[in-house]
Amino acid sequence: MMGDEAKSNRYIHVGEENSQPIELYYEDHGSGQPVVLIHGFPLSGAAWEKQVLMLLKKGYRTITYDRRGFGKSSQPTAGYDYDTFAEDLNKLMMELDLLDAVLVGHSMGTGEVTRYLATYGSGRVSKAVFISPIPPFVLKTPDNPQGVDQSVFDGIKQSILADRFAYLTSFISDFYNLDVTLGDTVSDEVFQGNWNVAVAASPKGTYDCVDTWLTDFREDLTSVDVPALIIHGDADRILPITATGGEFMHKAVKGSRLVVLEDAPHGIPWTHAREINTELINFLR
């Protein structure tokens, strides 16, 4: 079914809501070892532009898809949890019959990678990459004292309900640390393009994902049994390296490699594409 020719853009069916199908938009291009790129909140598979071009040039089959509720995928009012997200990923893996695949997640996408490996195993996966990761656990609890207070997430939900458009302006500003990067690694046009994608996402999905961020992945990480690369910026304002990811995930995943990018924000696939691409291609090889 799949030859060496560049693959067309497609949708896969992952469920139904009342009378409507739930479909994921994906792009499948090139040939060679498959690399599946899973985007962060509140963007789409298009956020991987700088990685897709590099991977295709280097001879990898490159697959992106839009999480349910985001990008060009369906916008149901349910399923914004990591069990469902991992199931959606599994359906994509099965539909394309991917083997020896490398899963690459950014931000929320690292949750899909983690929950997929914990639930479905690594039979189809050879390596995993976690960029600006949300695991192990971002919420502050008695047994996770470095986490972020619940009140912060309650405030985010209130802001989304009050004015989702204004909230997303603030979020994307912190996503890129625009007070530092605007006019340098991030242009006005990049900001506007990201904002356009973000506001077109499901309002319900945008709101529901805030609670999803609080998923505890500590047990899931014990199931990661493939070589793992973790990349995190030490100036990340969305998922601070002192609260999640980084050293905490590195300690939890045996044999993993940790790369900390100095003064780097959350949106490093764009702002630090050269560093990300170098680390990624070295890891793939």
Catalytic residues, by residue number, are 107, 236, 266
Residue 185 gets which letter from DSSP?
T
Are residues 176 and 267 in contact, defined by beta-carbon separation less than 8 angstroms? yes
- Compute CA distances 231 → 190, 197, 236, 250, whole Å: 22, 24, 11, 10
Neighbours of 226 (CB within 10 A): 17
Q: Determine if the peptide bond prior to 265 is cis (ω within 30°).
A: no
Name the residue with tokens 């070295």.
282
Are residues 85 and 66 in contact, defined by beta-carbon separation less than 8 angstroms? no
Could you please report the per-residue DSSP string of 88-112? HHHHHHHHTT--SEEEEEETHHHHH
